[in-house]
Amino acid sequence: MDGTLFLGIIEFIVLLLSLSVHESAHAWTANALGDPTARYLGRVSLNPIRHADLMGTVIFPLLGMVSGVMFGWAKPVPVNVNRLRNPKRDHMLVAAAGPFSNLLIAGALFLLLMILKLSSGEAAEMIRYVSASAAYGSMPHGNGIATPLMLMAFYGVWINIILAVFNLIPVAPLDGAAVLAGLLPNGLGRVVNQFQSYGFVILVLLLVTGAAAQLYTPVLNVVLSLLIV
């Protein structure tokens, strides 16, 4: 199999699972805080089919396998804010649950890689090699199942950091908009919400100009430096 295609398939699998965890975390938190809407719709689930969006979960990631830039999203979890026990606070917590779940995955996998790296010289050399190769888009060579497992762990860290940081940008429809609204006093929150009608335009500008990437790239660089040192 072509190396680029193999890397793309691994990235696609990791993205699919990461999006499922993200949306399931929203649904689980909403249900725990009083709104069972998402649970009734079967969204408290790690089954990717429950969260799949044709364009965001299938078409865009598949195009990313060809272009080398993996990007995607899942169906938003419906939340009835009026059913939450404390609407303002709980809506913020529901929104934050998605990015927080991605940070947990990234942190757990990074910790696993660092423990393996410290466990033996052979494991350390493999992690350095796989991380450096994957970060720069080249297929690492190796026999057995160890290499693809290392790749999945690396991309699990990489993709979940991007998802967490990107979704915390305080621009609608991203989770960061609801988190910011929940943190601000009511009056100021309403003022900020008035600008959210331009959220899609602002988001497109952030993506096109590369400004969004500047938010998570420094974090990725730190992680990469720790893995390949």
Instruction: Give the pLDDT confidence score for residue 227 in this predicted structure.
Output: 95
Taking alpha carbons only, the member of 54, 67, 80, 50 closest to residue 11 is 67
Q: How many other CB atoms are found less than 10 A from the CB of residue 95?
A: 26
CA distances from 60 to 14, 50, 63, 203, 204 (A): 14, 18, 5, 17, 15
CA distances from 37 to 57, 75, 176 (A): 22, 14, 21
| Residue 97 neighbours by CB under 8 Å, 6+ apart | 25, 26, 28, 29
* 100 pLDDT above the threshold of 80: yes
Instruction: Give the pLDDT confidence score for residue 2 in this predicted structure.
Output: 62
Stated as kind and residue range, the H or E segment containing 182 is helix 175-183
pLDDT confidence band for 76 (50 / 70 / 90):
very high
Instruction: Give the pLDDT confidence score for residue 99 in this predicted structure.
Output: 97
| Residue 219 neighbours by CB under 8 Å, 6+ apart | 161, 165
What pLDDT digit, counting tens, does each position of 104-146 carry?
A: 999 999 999 999 999 989 989 999 999 999 888 788 877 678 8
CA distances from 53 to 44, 67, 197 (A): 16, 20, 23
* 14 pLDDT above the threshold of 90: yes
What pTM was computed for the model? 0.92
Compute φ and ψ for 203, nearest 5 degrees: -65, -45
Query: What gap in Å lies between CA 70 and CA 72, rounded to an integer?
Result: 7
Which residue would you say has higher pLDDT here, 122 or 2? 122
Each domain of the chain, given as residue ranges in start order, spans 3-228
Instruction: Give the pLDDT confidence score for residue 18 in this predicted structure.
Output: 96
The pLDDT mean for the chain works out to: 90
Q: What is the mean pLDDT of residues 146-159?
A: 93
Compute φ and ψ for 145, nearest 5 degrees: -90, -10
On whether the CB atoms of residues 215 and 128 are closer than 8 A, the answer is no
pLDDT confidence band for 44 (50 / 70 / 90):
very high
The residues annotated with a catalytic role in the active site are 23
